[in-house]
Amino acid sequence: MNLQIHHYFAFIGLIFGVLILWVTPPFQSPDETNHYHRSAHIAQGHLMGEVLDGNRLGGEIDGSLLKYTSHFDSIRKSEDPRFDAADYTWARGLRKTGKLFVDFANVGYYSPTVYFPQVVGQALSQLLRLTPYQSLYFTRLLSLLSWLTLITLAIRIIPIQKILICFLALLPSSLSLASMVSGDTFTSSLCFLWIALLLRMILTEHRISLKEYIIICLIIVFITLNKLVYFPLVFMILLVPNDRLKKGVLMKSILLCITGVTLLLWMPYSKSLFIPYSEYSHLFRDSQQLNPPVNPDAQLSWILSHPYSFAQVALISYLESAPSTIAHYIGKYGWEKNYLHPIIIAILGLVGGFLSISRAENAPKLNVTQRLSFIVISLVMIIGLSVSLYLQWSPVGNDRILSLSGRYFFPIIPLLLIAASFINIENQRRIKLLSLGLSIVGLITLVIAIYSRWY
């Protein structure tokens, strides 16, 4: 049997993904509580969060889900969070009660497409009459399977840097997040797939059928709805030769217009649902992921009136947070400050850097225009991310951008690193074995770290 790199990825990702989702205690991943509540709400037929009394954002779900999340959140917030058999026994005994309004203030304005795999999991859980305990793990599993499927497809399709993409996707932080109920998993996998599809169009003789064109239109619309800062990926279409598309100029223009219209229509609507801390109900706001001094409208006005000051703030923020952001991108797991050992993070980082500058000798090569375009697109996404985080998490005119987390760079780094390749490596088999071997070492270390941290 001639196994390809995407086969190895799917096998390793499935084995370790299931281990991670099983050993990680409930609701210990970033915002997993609110993502779980929101996906359950959508599965009941509500596309968006509902505003209650003008000062709460959430929706009606079964009260047992809130009881479930509250129990494990209280342990997470304790001085020494540890979970034992009694916690799981209690959780297994939970049964549905009746509906009540539950707040999910920081995710209620997200597009429902963010949660596509999780909503399927929640809907099937309701259909199969699973308990709250069972539904969490079932939803985690479907989220993981969706991510694995899309990334596997991306690795199979992409004409260059297959080993690099496989390695990045199997980084401990990446697989840890993909195994949870997260608002980033589906979006990241769509971005990987988009990059793979567009690189195939740009670098090979592959001609784009109408069916494939419709698929890429849907992918970029979903990406734009899910995370506005990643919409610049659409500009990769400009690098596709016109003869690869029937009526190439027209089809490119239509794709750009569809993305632009999606952006312009969705952004103000989504923004209108956001309720800042100062206006949120005093009884519920402290349990939500809202930053007290934040005012997005005033912050945006400050950025527009002080563009050079903001550029300085962004530059200093990135320089100061670079070590923690890189560690977060490579070896972060769960919520709070949980990282793998610095030596493991350093080794994985060095291997990733080596893979980014190396390339298969017989693979298609990027020209200067393509490299520069990928770098510019990546930088535009980073700028958009900087503005977005500054609006959501930092006080007006703050001297630093807060919450620069590595997980936000999962869709950006692959394109940036692909542009860096310049060394021809003839023996790709050794490179593949090295990257897969170290990926497995990193993931074994992750499973051990998770168990040691919480049990």
Task: Kindly state the helix (H) or strand (E) to which residue 35 belongs, with its residue range.
Answer: helix 32-43
* Mean pLDDT, residues 121-148: 95
Identify the weakest region by mean pLDDT among 10-14, 163-167, 242-246: 242-246
* Mean pLDDT, residues 435-447: 96
**Band of pLDDT at residue 173, cut at 50, 70 and 90:** very high
Q: What pLDDT does residue 7 have?
A: 95
Q: What pLDDT does residue 293 have?
A: 83
Residue 35 CA to residue 183 CA, distance in Å, equals: 6
90 burial (CB, 10 Å; 0-12 / 13-18 / 19+) is middle
**All structural domains of the chain with their residue ranges:** 5-454
Query: How does pLDDT run across 220-275, given as a tens digit for each residue?
Result: 999 999 999 999 999 999 999 998 888 889 999 999 999 999 999 999 999 889 99
* Mean pLDDT, residues 213-226: 96
Residue from 270, 199, 322 nearest 57 by CA: 270
Residue 184 CA to residue 190 CA, distance in Å, equals: 10
- In percent, how much of the chain has pLDDT > 70? 99
* Mean pLDDT, residues 101-123: 94
Are the C-beta atoms of residues 2 and 431 closer than 8 Å to each other? no
Residue 162 CA to residue 359 CA, distance in Å, equals: 9
Residue 27 has pLDDT above 90, yes or no: yes
* Mean pLDDT, residues 179-201: 95
Coil vs helix vs strand at 90: helix
Q: What are phi and psi of 276, to 5 degrees?
A: -70, 165
Identify the weakest region by mean pLDDT among 37-46, 118-127, 165-174, 423-432: 423-432
- In percent, how much of the chain has pLDDT > 90? 75
Buried b (16+ CB within 10 A) or exposed e, 150-176: bbbbbbebbbbbbbbbbbbbbbbbbbb
Q: What pLDDT does residue 369 have?
A: 94
* Mean pLDDT, residues 431-445: 94
Residue 152 has pLDDT above 90, yes or no: yes
* Mean pLDDT, residues 282-288: 88
Q: What pLDDT does residue 405 have?
A: 86
Q: What pLDDT does residue 1 have?
A: 59
Listed ranges 91-105, 166-180, 386-400; the one with the highest mean pLDDT: 166-180
28 burial (CB, 10 Å; 0-12 / 13-18 / 19+) is buried
Residue 195 has pLDDT above 90, yes or no: yes
* Mean pLDDT, residues 389-393: 90
**Mean pLDDT value across the chain:** 92
Residue 381 CA to residue 374 CA, distance in Å, equals: 11
* Mean pLDDT, residues 281-298: 86
Residue 339 CA to residue 347 CA, distance in Å, equals: 14
Single-letter code of the amino acid located at 174: S
Q: What pLDDT does residue 336 have?
A: 81
Query: How does pLDDT run across 330-358, given as a tens digit for each residue?
Result: 999 988 889 999 999 999 999 999 998 88
pTM as predicted: 0.94
Q: What pLDDT does residue 100 have?
A: 93
Q: What are phi and psi of 169, to 5 degrees?
A: -70, -25
